[in-house]
Structure 1
């Protein structure tokens, strides 16, 4: 039994039901942020310019928007949750350690973006370990393989 299977078995046996509601809220929040990125790509490009990624600005904007839109839906429904989380982690890691850290913790100027980014990063790591849970499409598909 490899490490991934052991972690998955442990997470399935120790998965409280209330955490599924947090997963759904996290997915909807990430979807909301994706919609904001789509509606205001200039702000995302300006943020990327501040970090000196001039060559990758447009690719970065498309990756962030697509990953948030699709990943938010997948996380909210509990479909391929760990896979969707893996695509979100680089975005949130970048947001926490390169974009928002310059403004400081509990700064008035950034409207708590740094704290929200840290919270979302922590929740993504949590769902990378815990997975989808019982209130998810993954669980339903596992219970009804022929449907």
Structure 2
């Protein structure tokens, strides 16, 4: 537990403001992917059925799509606002790892596979914001400096 606190402290101390704009963009991208998952579930269902590594049935695939879409919608909003950012990022990381290795990588490692590159970049940014945290332009930071209230 001490190592995690040291990483969080280092991330809080070494946070540039331009990273906040990058965090907001990352949250909007994740939210947009959640909206696209909700709006076109059949394409996503066919993609998961083709690459069914885990042996899910049709109902489990449908449920997984809705869970991932919900996690992207809520996580994207939380990351954009900078509210419990590290928690929201940790929820997104397993989804992106499976997107990179089980879904997008099976379509080929080429320059034309833009979904793979987007997933790799988003995964890298999620790991970055897991380390550096939400930053000065966030709801978390405004809670820390609220007069009369003490937050952890």
TM-score with structure 2 setting the length = 0.90
Distance in structure 2 (CA, Å) of the matches to 1:95 and 1:145: 43
The answer to whether structure 1 residue 66 and structure 2 residue 52 are counterparts is no
Pairwise CA distance, 1:54? 3.0
What's the C-alpha RMSD, in Å, of the aligned pairs? 1.5
Q: Which runs of 5+ in 2 are unaligned?
A: none
TM-score with structure 1 setting the length = 0.92
The answer to whether structure 1 residue 11 and structure 2 residue 15 are counterparts is no
The answer to whether structure 1 residue 37 and structure 2 residue 41 are counterparts is no
Following superposition of structure 1 onto structure 2, how do residues 1-147 of structure 1 map, counting pairs within 5 Å? 2-52=2-52, 53-55=55-57, 56-108=60-112, 110=113, 112-144=114-146, 146=148
Pairwise CA distance, 1:145? 5.8
Distance in structure 2 (CA, Å) of the matches to 1:145 and 1:37: 41
Deviations 1:6-31 (A, max 9, x none): 11111111111110100000000100
